[in-house]
Amino acid sequence: MIGVVDYGMGNLGSVANALAHLGVPMCVLRGPADMAACHALILPGVGAFGDCLANLRDWGYVDPLREWLAADRPLLGICLGLQLLCASSAESPGVAGLGLVPVPVVKFAASAEWKVPQIGWNRVRQVPGRSCPLFRDIPDGTYFYFVHSYYLPAAPGWAAGQTRYGVDYASAICRGRIAAVQFHPEKSQQAGLRLLKNFADWCDAERP
C-alpha cells in the first residue's frame, strides 16, 4: 500500500486519481498513525514552504517522516514535497526543512526572458551515470509539467534529473529508496503516469 500524505496542503486529488488509474493500491493518510499500514509514501506539496512545515508539524508528521527517511524507506516527494526534504528555503527564512538533502532551496531570478514562477512544460535531462528507477522507459529530455518559483540549485550525490530555466537546477533527486521530483507527474500525461508506475514497481521490488 502506498500512502499519500495528507497534511492539508497537497494536490491529493490528482495524485490519488493518477494512482487509481494505474491500479496502484493506495490510501490517503489522515494522520501519522496510518503510516504503519504503508510500505511506501508519496509526499505532495502545494503552497509556501513555511506553511507546509507548520502543517506537517501541527498534524504530527515531522518526526515520523524524519524517522521514515532515516530508515531509507520508499518515499516520493512531488513539487514542494521535494523542497521539504531539503535543509531550508529562501521562501521561509529561519524555517528548517526535513533536512535529508543538506542544501537550501533558492528563488529564481526574474528577467524579461524567464518569468517567475516557472509555469508549463520543460525538459528533464537525466544525469549521466545516475540510474534512477523513476526514469525507466522514459526517454532522456522528456517534457514534464512544472509550477514553481523556488528550486534546488545542486544536490551532489542526489541529483538524477536536471532542468534549465535561466539556470540549471536539480529537477529530480534519487538516492537509496528515496526520490523526489520538482515537476508534477500527475499533470504530465503519459510520461508522468509512467514515472508514477515506475515508483510503484520500484517500491514493490524493494519490499522485504
Q: How many CB atoms lie within 10 A of CB 131?
A: 10
Q: Which three cell numbers stand for residue 191?
A: 510520461
Quick one: angle between helices 189-205 and 12-22, nearest 10? 70
**79 is a catalytic site residue:** yes
Radius of gyration of the chain (CA): 16
Say which of 52, 79, 86, 132 is annotated catalytic: 79
Q: Tell me how far apart the 2 most distant CA atoms of the chain are, in Å.
A: 52
Say which of 86, 132, 174, 184 is annotated catalytic: 184
Say which of 52, 91, 148, 186 is annotated catalytic: 186
**113 is a catalytic site residue:** no
Count of residues in the chain? 208
175 vs 130: CA distance, rounded Å: 9
134 vs 142: CA distance, rounded Å: 13
Burial of 93 (0-12, 13-18, 19+ CB in 10 A): exposed
Residue type present at position 167 = V
**148 is a catalytic site residue:** no
State the SS3 of 143-193: EEEEEECEEECCCCCCEEEEEEECEEEEEEEEECCEEEECCCHHHCHHHHH
**Which are the catalytic amino acids?**
79, 184, 186
